[in-house]
Structure 1
Amino acid sequence: MSSPSSSIVEARNLTVDFAAGRGSLRAVCGVDLSLKPGETVALLGESGSGKSVTLRALMRLHPNSAKIGGAITVDGQDVLALSPAQLRAYRGRIVSMIFQDPGLAFDPVYRIGDQIAETVMRHEGCSHAQARKRGLELFERVRIPSPERRLDNYPHEMSGGMRQRAMIALALACRPKVLLADEPTTALDATVQIQVLLLLRELQREFGLAIVFVTHDIGVAVEIADRIAVMYAGRIVESGSCASVIRNPSHPYTRGLLASRAHATLAKGERLYAIPGSPPDLAAPPPGCAFGPRCDRFIDGCAADVPENIAIEAGHEARCFRLSALEHGSNAA
């Protein structure tokens, strides 16, 4: 088991391959990720960068046709070696997930309270009445109004924000140690989004959760995360503390994400910056650095090989051939 000072999640050289025509597509390429109890790491990047694929690999939710390589250790367990029975005990009890669209995650033909009760009964062997009581306590905890009545709602009878709160309640039903949040605020309006982020931070403090939070919104990452890992084309291209990455973004892709945010200082009539080009086709990635074709700092060496991580400062590193010890002080955006 993990001690409070050690990592509860350790992924090393994680790869995920999917069948694609006559070949294969590598959606995740050598990802290293660690997470301590009570810590939040945000996986940040555009759609298709491998964030959700990484998250699902941590729960072994990919189909059997997918090939997961490397090593994943969660709470002392070798996740890739778990049997089907061990996986059923692992999911929900050790690691749980908040899915991006709770409208699709819930079964539409069963009441939400029954779905939560079934999860608790399966993992803890308690009665339906006891499991329903747990559901009521969780609904109260996530501030769903009229919680006893709402337990009998079907998913379609709840608003988007209320369904997301119910999804959080379901994810916490068996008191997991690690929470995987797959863009849980994407479909919500700004006010509800802030409420959900505040709720997650409050619940994290109360339950001591370790959270991996997937988002494409750097503003959300700043609000929720202790550390940020920026993903592009299946690789983590920059990682570090939230403050360090925001203060001194060192990979051109990270700087592009920061520059493309809508912000109050945008002058009237000024166009919002957009990173040129599109993410690469992972079935036929470009040689060398995958960001090279979109990068304004591209040099010939960028197409020769995949860059290694370079230390920017303690705990902060990035993959870029243009980085050097002499440049670190001039990379701040």
Structure 2
Amino acid sequence: MTTMNNPTSSSEPMVRLRDLSVTFSGGRKPVHAVSGVSLDVQRGEVVALIGESGSGKSVTMRTLLRLHPERRTRIGGQVQVAGRDVLAMPARELDDFRGKVASMIFQEPLLALDPVYSVGAQIVESIRRHDRKATAAEAQQRALALFERVRIPSPERRLAAYPHEMSGGMRQRAMIALALACRPQLLLADEPTTALDATVQIQILLLLRELQRDLGLSVIFVTHDIGAAVEVADRIAVMYAGRIVEEGTARELIRSPRHPYTIALLKSRAHGALARGARLETIGGAPPDLSALPPGCAFAERCALATDACRAAQPPVVELAPNHRARCIHTDAAAAIAPTLVA
């Protein structure tokens, strides 16, 4: 999909993806997890990737850090972060890049954190690995400051705690502190609130937005919850079957969705902007098999607007406004079935 750059910005974007494809082998057939994704993330911008499980969101994120097993993964296209070619980086440079330039908040911190070391020790190790001049005492003080920044109560005591001794919300805050330990420019948040209750989810979302503004971070936020995306993102990219099918500012995309899949997501979520009395709907059918993608629009079999033309070939990208694009030949008809939203 063509990118949607900020026309007023002349600086190089923090993230530049061009025609990214990610294919996994090892099974009976190759799995085309990401197909032709192009996306820019400007410096200091928050972009949300939304879509159902299996749409390619997390695969795209992990490609930015080259976390996929190299022997079973084929990556095509261009991946640049802070002007650096991620796909061409040798192992030593990649180790320095991870954590210092780009860092990730994983979905389940209990699995991401090492269970045999205290959380504080893991943060101290990360700081000293990337800052050779930092003494153990200095790294400990920086870790304490990070815990205070992410509002972990009794931070000195919690630095000595092991992951299993923390609540889910506290572990996620510790994971955020670890991700920020080496002062990265790009923060990748992979569904960081999925396993948390509603109250803690809101707290984590507000914390992430606050940290992004204070530190000037670029953020890519992955979620299946379009309501959460609206709360934190400047722009939203909707993914389906490995492609970006709609992209726009958060306000434009929510107020005037023009791809049937985006509309279906809105209608199926209990979002506060739905007009009173509107009924939630389900999205019929299932996502396509990524090892046998159809020649046309992958959403066609689940779309009420689909025609033979949709099934025959990939639909082109339609520019709807300067900051709004959709990959669909029925954008005008889609506008007529979009949910009614309150102001």
Matches of residues 67-216 of structure 1 in structure 2 within 5 Å? 67-125=74-132, 126-216=134-224
- SS of the residue 2:292 aligns to: coil
2:12 pairs with 1:9: no
- SS of the residue 1:23 aligns to: coil
Letter of the structure 1 residue corresponding to residue 116 of structure 2: V
TM-score normalised per structure 1: 0.95
Q: 1:55 aligns with which of 55, 58, 61?
A: 61
Q: CA deviation at 1:68?
A: 1.1
Deviations 1:199-239 (A, max 9, x none): 11111111100000000000000000000000000000000
Does the 8 Å CA contact 1:155/1:163 hold for their aligned counterparts?
yes
Contiguous gaps of at least 5 residues in structure 2: 1-8
2:39 pairs with 1:24: no
Q: CA deviation at 1:132?
A: 1.2
- Partners in 2 of 1:117 and 1:77 — Cα distance? 27
Matches of residues 238-277 of structure 1 in structure 2 within 5 Å? 238-263=246-271, 267=277, 272-277=280-285
Farther-moved stretch of structure 1 (197-206 vs 255-264): 255-264
Q: 1:280 aligns with which of 288, 307, 318?
A: 288
The runs of 4+ residues in structure 1 deviating greater than 3 Å are 263-267, 327-333
Q: CA deviation at 1:266?
A: 6.0
- Partners in 2 of 1:266 and 1:117 — Cα distance? 50
Letter of the structure 2 residue corresponding to residue 163 of structure 1: R
Q: CA deviation at 1:313?
A: 0.8
Q: CA deviation at 1:332?
A: 4.5
Over the aligned positions, Cα root-mean-square deviation in angstroms equals 1.6
- Partners in 2 of 1:32 and 1:274 — Cα distance? 29
TM-score normalised per structure 2: 0.92
Does the 8 Å CA contact 1:44/1:228 hold for their aligned counterparts?
yes
**How many equivalent pairs are there?**
327
Deviations 1:216-274 (A, max 9, x none): 0000000000000000000000001001101110000000000111256564xx86300
Q: CA deviation at 1:160?
A: 0.1
Q: CA deviation at 1:117?
A: 0.4
Farther-moved stretch of structure 1 (123-132 vs 225-234): 123-132
Matches of residues 26-45 of structure 1 in structure 2 within 5 Å? 26-45=32-51
- SS of the residue 2:25 aligns to: strand
Does the 8 Å CA contact 1:312/1:328 hold for their aligned counterparts?
no
- Partners in 2 of 1:271 and 1:245 — Cα distance? 20
Matches of residues 208-227 of structure 1 in structure 2 within 5 Å? 208-227=216-235
- Partners in 2 of 1:256 and 1:27 — Cα distance? 22
Deviations 1:254-312 (A, max 9, x none): 00000111256564xx8630011011110112331000000000101111111111011
Does the 8 Å CA contact 2:235/2:250 hold for their aligned counterparts?
yes
- SS of the residue 1:275 aligns to: coil
Identity fraction in percent = 61
Contiguous gaps of at least 5 residues in structure 1: none
- Partners in 2 of 1:89 and 1:220 — Cα distance? 32
- Partners in 2 of 1:80 and 1:167 — Cα distance? 26
Does the 8 Å CA contact 1:249/1:331 hold for their aligned counterparts?
no
- SS of the residue 1:53 aligns to: helix
- Partners in 2 of 1:280 and 1:328 — Cα distance? 21
